[in-house]
Amino acid sequence: MKRAYVEINLTKYAENINRFRTIIPAETKLMAVVKADAYGHGANEISDVAVANGIDYLGVAWVSEAIALREAGIKSPILILSEPTINIAADIVRLDVTQTVYTLNFARALSDAAKQFNKIAKIHIKIDTGMNRIGVNGDEATLLVEQIHELDNIFIEGVFTHFAKADTIDDNYTLQQVKQFTEIVTSLEKKGYSFPIKHCANTAGTFNYPSAHVNMVRVGIGSYQDVLTFKSRIAYVKRVPKDSYVSYSCSYKTEKETTIATLSVGYADGLVRALSNKGHVIVNGKKYPIVGRICMDMTMIDLGDDIYHVGEEVILIGSQGSETISVEEVAELAGTISYEILCGIGKRVNRIYHY
């Protein structure tokens, strides 16, 4: 019997990917972002479905993620979304993946490695238009493109930026980012430089800023909507009297005689401790409160006078009967975002895939 597990609905993931196809122009490419183990869903399995449903690119954060996809037999184009350290430029060239570049030093390292292996290194240049995380500053972008263009064995396939506030519709900051990116790219194209792929929009940008679709969009969190169900089981049940304390710090005291069930899941599995005395779970289509501090491996819930037995299935994120606990609801209670909740579901939690 599995103590904690997630069920991944691959049909739902495919539906989400294809929904994005309906809101972008037919000629616009679609990148499926599968970094962080596909936001906790399993990068190899999710990538297989994405490729089968016609995505044009896969996006990852690190070289190690690209290596894992190639070793899994995935041959589709992969964009590494940030620069790694220079010493692994040769690995990138050997992998036949596309590399994000925003410094001349890294471009030179790729050029040297590509010459060594008699290959062409494909790159996308990232321009920072206001996120202030990574990327060449807008006023330095033209010079960088000119310098990289002079390097041997480098093909500038794309150019892109990243929005900081695209979840807000008609936001002036985002519109200014679009304007700055468009002006830089237009200026470069007038100088004779060409970029087969230009992209700005993440999930929120794809929904809220059609003018920013350019000719590729990058979809991450939106493609994972309602794909995952997080489950556990009741491991122990006991009746406790009124005024009994539950779990560490004695933060919960029973108001009457009640039944406490212990679940075989804890914060080491991704049930965040911030849900202590705030969150709920679903058992047999009914919501029950999490009581006391969530422990590393176990969590307690208050069943009142309801009777359940060891082994009963418990929904932590997902739906059962008429009740639903969404990842967004969990994130709000925990004071964070859905991305963190999904990525935080631990490796010791089994993933079960179905269509």
286 noted as active-site residue: no
Catalytic residue among 173, 236, 248, 355: 248
Count of CB atoms situated within 10 Å of the CB of 59:
24
Closest CA to 203 of 185, 182, 224, 181: 224
Rounded to an integer, what distance in angstroms lies between the CA atom of residue 255 and that of residue 311?
26
Closest CA to 9 of 317, 329, 343: 317
Both tokens assigned to 247: 């779990």
Catalytic residue among 5, 13, 29, 35: 35
Which segments within the chain are labelled E, that is strand?
A: 4-9, 29-33, 57-60, 78-80, 98-101, 121-128, 136-137, 154-160, 197-199, 216-219, 228-240, 245-246, 252-253, 258-263, 280-283, 286-291, 299-304, 313-320, 323-325, 350-354
35 noted as active-site residue: yes
Provide the greatest CA pair distance for the chain: 79
Q: Which residues are catalytic?
A: 35, 248
